[in-house]
Structure 1
Amino acid sequence: SIDWTQISLFYCKFRYFIFQTCALLSFTCICLATIDQYFATCFRPYWQQFCNIKLSHRIIIVFMFFWMIHGIPYLIFYNHVKLPNSEMLFCTSTNEIFLQYHTYIFLLTLTGILPVFITGIFGFLAYYNVRHIAYRTVPLVRRELDKQMTVMVLVQVVLKFFTIVPFIIVNTLAFNTSITQDPIIVARIQLAGSVVVCLYYAFFAVMNKSIE
C-alpha cells in the first residue's frame, strides 16, 4: 500500500488541513443543531427567536471560515521528517508547541470533550423542555414536531457519546507517558486505538447517512 503523506509534501499538509476543517465543522454543526433544538423548545419567546434559518446559515459560514483559518498552521508546520536510522519519511509537525496543541487541544478537546459536553448539556435541556411542553399552550402539530426533532437530536447525542468517548479515553491513556513504558500496555492501547478510530469514523459515516 502507498502512503501518499510520505510521498507528497502537499498531500501531507493538505490532508491534515482538510481533516481538521471538516471534522471541526461537522462537530460544530451537530452542536449548533442541539443548541437550536433547545432554543426551539424554550418557554421564552426571546430564546425562540434565535431558532432562525438565516441566522443558522450565517453562523455556519462564520465557523467555516474560522476553522479554515484555524487550519493554516497545519499547512505551515506539518512537514516530512525522516525516521531515525532510516530513509523513510513520515508526516508530522516540526513545531513541538503546535504538536502539543494538536494533541491536547484539537484531538482531546475540540473534537472530543467539548462537543460531547455541549451536546450533552443542550440535549438534556431540550429534553427537559419537551417533557414540560404539554403544560404550555402550543399547537398539537408543533408539539409533535418538537418531540420528534428532540428525539432525533438525542439519538445523535447518545451515538456521539458511545463513539467519541472511547476515543477520548484511549487517546488520554496513549498520551500518558507514565503507563506507556510497558510494551504490553502499549500493544493493548494500540489495539484499542485501532478499534476506537473505527468507531470515531463510523460516527461521521452515520451522521452523513442520516443527513442524506
Structure 2
Amino acid sequence: MARKVIFLDRDGTINEEVRYLHRSEELRIIPGVPEALRRLRELGFLLVLVTNQAGIARGYYAEADCERLNAYLNETLRREGAGLDRVYYCPHHPEKGIGVYRRDCDCRKPKPGMLRRAAEELQLGRFENIPAGETVDRAHSYMLGDKRIDTIAGHNFGIQGILLGSGYGRTERELAAPGDYDAYFESMGEAVGWIEKRERDGS
C-alpha cells in the first residue's frame, strides 16, 4: 500500500523561529498549526518531521538536547490530536561542524536523505501500527517548510514542495528562483486547505 506523507520542517514551520532552539521553555508552537496537522491526519496523511540541526554540529547543544525537545514538541502536539509519526534530524554541517559532525552528509536539506530514510523505515515496518511493505505515495505527498532548502529537498525526493510564509518564508519567497517551490501560502492552515482541495479533485 502507498501512504500519503506530509514531511515537515520544524523551526519556523511548526514552532516559532528561535535561533538554535534546544530548550523546551523557549518552544512556541505557531498558532493554527495543531489544527492544521490534525486536519492532515484526518485526511489520512502520515506526519514526518525532518529538521536540520546545525547547532549540534557547531557544539551549541547535544543530540540529547535535540531529542528531548523533539519529544516535548511531539507530546505537546499529541495532546492536540496532531502527533507526529516519525522525527528525523540532521546533526551535521559541511563547514562549521566540529569533529564527527563536520560532514558533507546526505541528510542535510536540501539533500533528501532524511526523507529517503523515512521511506526506507516505512517499508521496513518501523512506523508505529503500520505493517512492513508500505511505500510513500509520491504523487500525493508534500514537503512543507519556511525555506527553499525544504521545498527543494521535497523536489529532490520527487514530491511537491510548499513554501510557508511563517519563519523565514516571506524573505525566502522574494529570493526564490522559478521552480524552487510549487505553491506558497501565508499559513499552514491555508496550505492544508489547498492540499485538501487538490486531493479531493484528484489532482
The answer, yes or no, to whether TM exceeds 0.5 is no
Q: Which has the higher helix share?
A: 1
Q: TM-score, normalised by structure 1?
A: 0.29
Structure holding more strand per residue: 2
When Rg is computed on C-alpha atoms for both structures, the one with the higher figure is 1
TM-score (norm 2): 0.29
